[in-house]
Amino acid sequence: MALASRSARLALARLGRLGLGSCGAPRRGAYEWGVRSTRKPEPPPPDRVYEIPGLEPITYAGKMHFMPGLARPVFPPWDPDWTPPKFRRLPPLHEHPLYKDQACYVFHQRCRLLEGVKQALWLTKTKLIEGLPEKVLSLADDPRNHIENQDECVLNVIFHARLWHSTEDIPKRETYCPVIVDSLIQLCKSQILKHPSLARRICAQNNMLSTTWNRGFREGYPYPYPHTLYLLESANLRPHRFQPDQLRAKMILFAFGNALAQARLLYGNDTKVLEQPVVVQSVGTDGRVFQFLVLQLNTTDLASDEGVKNLVWIDSDQLLYEHFWCLPVVRRKAVVEPVGPTGFQPETFRKFLALYLHGAV
Amino acid sequence: MAAARCWRLVLRGSGLSLHTAAEAAVKAPEVTGPDVAAAPVARYPPVVASLTADSKAARQRRVERWQATVHAAKSVDEKLRILTKMQFMKYVVYPQTFALNADRWYQSFTKTVFLSGLPPPPPARPDTEPAPALDVVALRDAACDCLLQEHFFLRRKKRVPLYLEHEAITSPFLDQLVASLTGLLSARNPALANAALDCKRPVHFYWLRGEEIISHGHRKGRVDALRYQINDKPHNQIRISKQLPEFVPLDYSVPVEIPVMNCKPDKLPLFKRQYENTIFIGTKTADPHCYGHTQFHLLPDKLKRERLLKQNCADQIEVVFRANAIASLFAWTGAQAMYQGFWSEADVTRPFVSQGVITDGKYFSFFCYQLNTLALTAQADQNNPRKNICWGTQIHTWEGTLE
Q: Residue B176: which of A153, A203, A220 has the nearest Cβ?
A: A203
How many CB atoms within 10 Å of residue B274?
A: 11
In residues, how long is chain A? 361
Overall average pLDDT of the A76-86 stretch: 88
From CA B84, how far away is CA B205, in angstroms rounded? 10
Size of interface A-B (CB pairs under 8 A): 87
| Whether A164 and B284 lie within 8 Å, measured CB to CB | yes
Q: Indicate if the pLDDT at residue A208 is higher than 70.
A: no
Task: Check residue B276 and give its pLDDT.
Answer: 94
What one-character DSSP code corresponds to residue B166? I
Q: Which of A254-268, B144-158, B172-186, B302-316 ranks highest by mean pLDDT?
A: B302-316
Three-state secondary structure call for residue B401: coil
How many CB atoms within 10 Å of residue B19?
A: 17
Task: Check residue B304 and give its pLDDT.
Answer: 87
Task: Check residue A160 and give its pLDDT.
Answer: 93
Overall average pLDDT of the B150-170 stretch: 73
Chain A: nearest CA to B1, how far in angstroms? 41
Q: How many CA atoms lie within 13 A of A245 on its CB side?
A: 8
Overall average pLDDT of the B109-122 stretch: 91
Assign A192 a pLDDT band (cuts: 50, 70, 90).
low
Task: Check residue B163 and give its pLDDT.
Answer: 77
Q: Which of A24-33, A186-195, B133-142, B263-272 ranks highest by mean pLDDT?
A: B263-272
Instruction: Say which residues have a Cβ less than 8 Å from residue A300's Cβ, sequence separation at least 6.
Output: A260, A263, A264, A267, A271, A272, A274
Task: Check residue B158 and give its pLDDT.
Answer: 65
| Whether A217 and B153 lie within 8 Å, measured CB to CB | yes
Task: Check residue A217 and give its pLDDT.
Answer: 55
From CA A43, how far away is CA A53, in angstroms rounded? 29
In contact, A344 and A320? CB cutoff 8 Å: yes
From CA A13, how far away is CA A18, in angstroms rounded? 9
In chain A, which residues have their Cβ closer than 8 Å to the Cβ of B182?
Answer: 189
Chain B: nearest CA to A100, how far in angstroms? 22
Beta strands at A310-319 and A289-299: parallel, antiparallel or unpaired: antiparallel
In chain B, which residues have their Cβ closer than 8 Å to the Cβ of A167?
Answer: 202, 204, 278, 280
Assign A278 a pLDDT band (cuts: 50, 70, 90).
confident
From CA A112, how far away is CA A243, in angstroms rounded? 9
| Whether B183 and A189 lie within 8 Å, measured CB to CB | yes
Three-state secondary structure call for residue A158: helix
Q: Residue B193: which of A160, A166, A190 has the nearest Cβ?
A: A190
Task: Check residue A19 and give its pLDDT.
Answer: 52
Assign A210 a pLDDT band (cuts: 50, 70, 90).
very low
Q: Indicate if the pLDDT at residue A211 is higher than 50.
A: no
Assign B10 a pLDDT band (cuts: 50, 70, 90).
very low
Task: Check residue B381 and give its pLDDT.
Answer: 92
Overall average pLDDT of the A330-359 stretch: 89
In chain A, which residues have their Cβ closer than 8 Å to the Cβ of B153?
Answer: 217-218, 220-221
Amino acid identity of B298? Answer: L
Instruction: Say which residues have a Cβ less than 8 Å from residue B82's Cβ, sequence separation at least 6.
Output: B66, B69, B70, B73
Give chain A's contact residues with B (Cβ, < 8 Å). 153, 156, 159-160, 163-167, 182-183, 186, 189-190, 192-193, 196, 198-199, 202-210, 215-218, 220-223
Instruction: Say which residues have a Cβ less than 8 Å from residue A203's Cβ, sequence separation at least 6.
Output: A185, B176, B179
From CA A311, how far away is CA A130, in angstroms rounded? 11
Q: Average per-residue pLDDT in chain A?
A: 81
In contact, B49 and B55? CB cutoff 8 Å: yes
pLDDT tens readout for residues A228-247: 888 888 888 888 888 889 99
Greater pLDDT, A52 or B134? A52
Chain B: nearest CA to A223, how far in angstroms? 9
Q: Residue B183: which of A192, A215, A221 has the nearest Cβ?
A: A192
CA distances from A229 to A127, A258, B207 (A): 20, 9, 45
Task: Check residue B16 and give its pLDDT.
Answer: 46
Greater pLDDT, B146 or B261? B261
| Whether B287 and A208 lie within 8 Å, measured CB to CB | no
Nearest CA in chain A to B139: A199
Assign B391 a pLDDT band (cuts: 50, 70, 90).
very high
Residue from B75, B152, B153, B237 whose CB has the most chain A CBs within 10 Å, to mutate: B153
Task: Check residue A202 and give its pLDDT.
Answer: 65
Give chain B's contact residues with A (Cβ, < 8 Å). 142, 145-146, 149, 152-157, 172, 175-176, 179-180, 182-184, 186-187, 190, 193-194, 196-199, 201-202, 204, 278, 280, 282-284, 286-288
In chain B, which residues have their Cβ closer than 8 Å to the Cβ of A162?
Answer: none
Q: Indicate if the pLDDT at residue B229 is higher than 90.
A: yes
Q: How many angstroms from the chain centroid is the CA of residue A23?
A: 54
Overall average pLDDT of the B384-400 stretch: 88
Task: Check residue A222 and give its pLDDT.
Answer: 63
Three-state secondary structure call for residue B197: strand
From CA B187, how far away is CA A196, in angstroms rounded? 9
Residue whose C-alpha is closest to residue A294's, from A304, A284, A302, A285: A284
Residue from B155, B174, B175, B231 whose CB has the most chain A CBs within 10 Å, to mutate: B155
Q: What is the DSSP string of A255-285?
A: HHHHHHHHHHHHH-SS--EEEEEEEEEEEEE
Q: Indicate if the pLDDT at residue B6 is higher than 60.
A: no
pLDDT tens readout for residues B62-76: 999 999 999 999 999
Residue whose C-alpha is closest to residue A308's, from A126, A128, A169: A126
CA distances from A90 to A96, A99, A101 (A): 9, 13, 18
From CA A238, how far away is CA A232, in angstroms rounded? 14
Q: How many CA atoms lie within 13 A of A196 on its CB side?
A: 4
| Whether B202 and A183 lie within 8 Å, measured CB to CB | no
In chain B, which residues have their Cβ closer than 8 Å to the Cβ of A198?
Answer: 183
Nearest CA in chain A to B285: A164
From CA A240, how far away is CA B139, in angstroms rounded? 42
From CA A51, how far away is CA A54, in angstroms rounded? 9
From CA A289, how far away is CA A293, in angstroms rounded? 13
How many CB atoms within 10 Å of residue B378?
A: 14
Q: What is the DSSP string of B148-165?
A: HIIIII---SSPPPGGGH
Chain A: nearest CA to B310, how far in angstroms? 34
Q: Indicate if the pLDDT at residue B2 is higher than 50.
A: no
pLDDT tens readout for residues A9-28: 666 666 555 555 556 676 78
From CA B332, how far away is CA B232, in angstroms rounded? 9
In contact, A273 and A147? CB cutoff 8 Å: no
Chain A: nearest CA to B237, how far in angstroms? 12
Q: Indicate if the pLDDT at residue A328 is higher than 80.
A: yes
pLDDT tens readout for residues A131-147: 888 888 888 887 776 77
Q: Indicate if the pLDDT at residue B8 is higher than 60.
A: no
In contact, B287 and A160? CB cutoff 8 Å: yes
Overall average pLDDT of the A52-68 stretch: 88
Residue from A154, A182, A326 whose CB has the most chain B CBs within 10 Å, to mutate: A182
pLDDT above 90 as % of chain A: 14
C-alpha triplet B233, B238, B241: angle, nearest 5°? 125
Greater pLDDT, B153 or B255? B255
